[in-house]
């Protein structure tokens, strides 16, 4: 297993290099000049030229790229053109926020989606299945921003159960931190739960018809054991892949949800950076997310091998 992960990490290096190239050059193709954004109203050519020199924007593109990637390898992703803060510091500030939101949303999604998928597959064609599908479809169709606003109105304004917005670092006050994050996590999680439910349901449907499930029944095992041990174990293989990919997506930040609940995560950071042509920050975030995605993919494959013993021999 370790050698498998090691191999996969090696293979991931060219992928990440390619992503860094794309991120860097695609952004250069975008209209807009960061120096103009930085200088604001003051269009004095000397100042503009000074800024270009300072940020070495006059160098050829490939030199700029190698400067950037070379620094990135030493942990220096540059400084934000706007706030002058190091990008790495910005990322380090936002990452725990987004990470916490992603974990909580994922837990909610799994806790709702996987059991719902199992139950609806087991009761295929009955009103239970029908109900689960209707709920899942609603979960997929209801936009997050609408659900978020409705929840704030109901849970915070009317009932006063949870704070409407804000962020409390987990390390300062874990309970309060979870309370403030609960609603946004729920909004994100329910949408993903619907996806997970559909995947779990279809995987379970296939597995429940398999010969080995019939064998398990022929052994006299209870239905609960047949489903939870013999069927679920096999059905989980594709579902785990989906879960890890969803987690990768969550790490990229949930722009709208973060805006509604004013959570200072990746989503908000990236939107602000794009609007301000804050290249260094955008590049840093995209690179960071891409690496997270690649890592999630490797984790997904590793779990796949754990769950599917046929894979681990190869």
Partner 1 sequence: MSAPLLDVKGLSVRIAGTSRDLVADVSFTLHPGETLCVVGESGCGKSLTALSLMGLLASPPLSVTGGEALFDGRDLLQMPLDQLQALRGDRMAMIFQEPMTSLNPALRVGDQIAESVQRHQGVSAKAARARALEMLRRVGIPAPESRLDAYPHNLSGGMRQRVMIAMALANDPALLLADEPTTALDVTIQAQILALMRDLQAQSGSAMILITHDLGVVAEMADKVAVMYAGRIVEFGTVAQIFEDPQHPYTIGLMSSMPTLGQRVARLVTIPGVVPQASQMPPGCRFASRCPFANASCAKTPDMTEVATGHRVACWQVPLEAGIDQRVSA
CB 245 within 8 A of CB 300: yes
Q: Which is nearer to partner 1, 7 or 219 (CB)?
A: 219
Residue 309 found at the interface with partner 1 (CB under 8 A): yes
CB of 312 to partner 1, least distance (A): 9
233 binds partner 1 (CB under 8 A): yes
Residues contacting 174, CB < 8 A, separation 6+: none
Q: Is 220 in the site for partner 1 (CB under 8 A)?
A: yes
Residue 120 touches partner 1, criterion: CB under 8 A? no
Angstrom CA distances, 283 to 26, 28, 143, 217, stand at 10, 11, 28, 55
Question: Pick from 32, 212, 228, 262: which binds partner 1 (CB under 8 A)?
Answer: 212
> Is 1 near partner 1 (CB under 8 A)?
no
Q: Which backbone phi and psi does 105 adopt, to 5 degrees? A: -65, -40
Q: Find the binder of partner 1 among 72, 217, 255, 256 (CB under 8 A).
A: 217
How big is the site for partner 1, counted in residues (CB under 8 A)? 24
**Percent of the chain that is helix, strand, coil (3-state, to 5):** 80, 0, 20
Neighbours of 162 (CB within 10 A): 15
Q: Segment contacting partner 1 (CB under 8 A): 13-21, 35-43, 58-66, 215-223?
A: 215-223
**Contacting range for partner 1; rule: CB under 8 A; set: 52-60, 74-82, 155-163, 222-230:** 222-230
Beta partners for 20? none
**Residue 289 near residue 252 (C-beta atoms within 8 A):** yes
Applying CB under 8 A, the residues found at the interface with partner 1 are 125, 209-212, 214-223, 229-230, 233-234, 307-310, 313
């Amino acid at each position: 297993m370790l050698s498998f992960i090691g191999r996969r990490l090696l293979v991931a290096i060219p992928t990440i290099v390619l992503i860094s190239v794309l991120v860097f050059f695609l952004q250069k193709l975008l209209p807009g000049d960061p120096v103009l954004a930085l200088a604001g109203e003051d269009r004095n050519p000397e100042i503009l030229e000074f800024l270009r020199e300072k940020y070495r924007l006059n160098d050829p593109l490939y030199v700029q790229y190698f400067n950037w990637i070379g620094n990135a390898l030493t942990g220096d992703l540059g400084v934000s053109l706007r706030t002058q803060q190091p990008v790495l510091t910005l990322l380090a500030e936002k990452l725990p926020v987004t990470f916490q939101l992603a974990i909580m949303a994922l837990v909610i999604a799994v806790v709702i989606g996987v059991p719902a998928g199992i139950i609806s597959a087991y009761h295929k064609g009955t009103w239970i299945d029908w109900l689960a599908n209707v709920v899942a479809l609603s979960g997929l169709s209801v936009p997050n921003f609408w659900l978020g606003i409705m929840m704030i109105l109901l849970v915070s304004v009317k009932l006063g159960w949870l704070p409407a917005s804000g962020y409390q670092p987990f390390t300062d006050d874990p309970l309060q931190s979870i309370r403030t994050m609960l609603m946004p996590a729920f909004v994100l999680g329910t949408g993903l739960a619907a996806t997970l439910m559909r995947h779990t349901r279809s995987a379970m449907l296939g597995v429940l018809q398999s010969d080995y499930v019939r064998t398990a029944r022929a052994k006299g095992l209870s239905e609960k054991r047949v489903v939870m041990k013999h069927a679920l174990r096999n059905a989980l293989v594709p579902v785990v892949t989906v879960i890890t990919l969803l987690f990768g997506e969550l790490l990229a930040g949930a722009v709208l949800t973060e805006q509604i609940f004013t959570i200072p995560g990746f989503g908000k950071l990236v939107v602000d950076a794009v609007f301000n042509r804050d290249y260094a920050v955008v590049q840093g975030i995209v690179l960071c997310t891409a690496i997270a995605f690649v890592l999630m993919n490797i984790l997904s494959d590793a779990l796949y091998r754990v769950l599917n013993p046929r894979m681990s021999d190869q």
